[in-house]
Structure formats: C-alpha cells, structure tokens
Amino acid sequence: MSTPVEPERPARNVDTRLFIAWAVSVIATGGSLYFSEIKGYIPCDLCWFQRIFMYPLTILLGIAYFKDDVGITKYVLPLSFIGGGISLYHVTIQRIYSATGNSVACGQIPCYTDYLNWFGFITIPLLALIAFIIIIVMLWGIGRTPKSSS
C-alpha cells in the first residue's frame, strides 16, 4: 500500500515573502481607500494610475499566498514595476514643485497636491513607491526555476 504524495509546498522563506508582499498590498490598498473615502482626499490622475496597479495586487497576491502559487510573480512583478515607476514620477513632480514652484498639470487635481506630509518628506505617492518597492523586493527571485544544463 502506497502513501499518498502531498503536493510540494514552497519553502518557508518563500511563503513568508509572499505573505509580506500580500500584507503590504492590503495595507496600501486600505490606506488609499481610507484617504479617499474617509478623509475625503480627492486623488489626482497619477494617484488613480497608482491605484490601478496596486489594487489588483491585493487580490492576486492573496490568492497566490493561500494557494501556494509562487508562479504569480510573473504577473505581479510587471504590475509592481509599472506602478512603482508611476509613483517615482509622481514623487519627482512633487519634489520639483516644492523646490521651484513649477508644476505639471495632470487633471483637475494638481499632482503636487500635498494632502499628507509627515516629517516634511513622506507623502502619499512616496508611501505608494515604498509599498511597490517592498513588493518587488519580496517577490524578486521567487518562482524562478534554474534551467537545467543539457
């Protein structure tokens, strides 16, 4: 009588990294919704694009964590890199405006609108950038299988 073979689970380190990435996306999405729905901050166009790339990560990473699917990284990393690039651009616009007073228009709400400024430099786009960077760092290298040499 043979014993049933259980599917192989990812290593504990990989499981933890996937959970951290998911938790960061949940916190970022929750924070975004809190600022807009409860605090009443109106997002600018660049904020909307950052949301477009962050919100799906919550669902994708949650499913991947609970299903032990490390293959999700090939879908999540591009979203994170693009969202992080938009966040970096947004942070740059805010820094240039605060230094020079020149602004870039990006819709009805100016992209340099500073709803939140902790310690004189932590803004909402910077928080989004940090979240995207943490997700990228946590998922980098997960799910890659070394190619066998033939």
CATH number of the domain bearing residue 134 = 1.20.1550
Confidence at 3, pLDDT banded by 50, 70, 90 = low
Does 107 map to a domain? yes
Closest CA to 65 of 132, 20, 108, 102: 20
Tally the domains of the chain. 1
What average pLDDT does the structure give for the chain? 80
Whether the CB-CB separation of 128 and 28 falls below 8 Å is answered with yes
**6 domain-assigned:** no
Domain that holds residue 30: 12-139
Whose CA is closest to 23, among 126, 131, 123? 131
pTM of the predicted structure, to 2 decimals = 0.78
Residue 58 falls inside a structural domain: yes
Residue type, 33: L
Which amino acid is residue 125, in one-letter code?
A: P
Residue 7 domain-assigned (yes or no) = no
Give residue-wise pLDDT tens across range 80-128: 999 999 999 988 888 776 555 556 666 666 666 666 665 666 788 889 9
* 150 within a domain of the structure (yes/no): no
State pLDDT tens for residues 34-75. 988 988 888 888 888 899 999 999 999 999 999 888 888 889
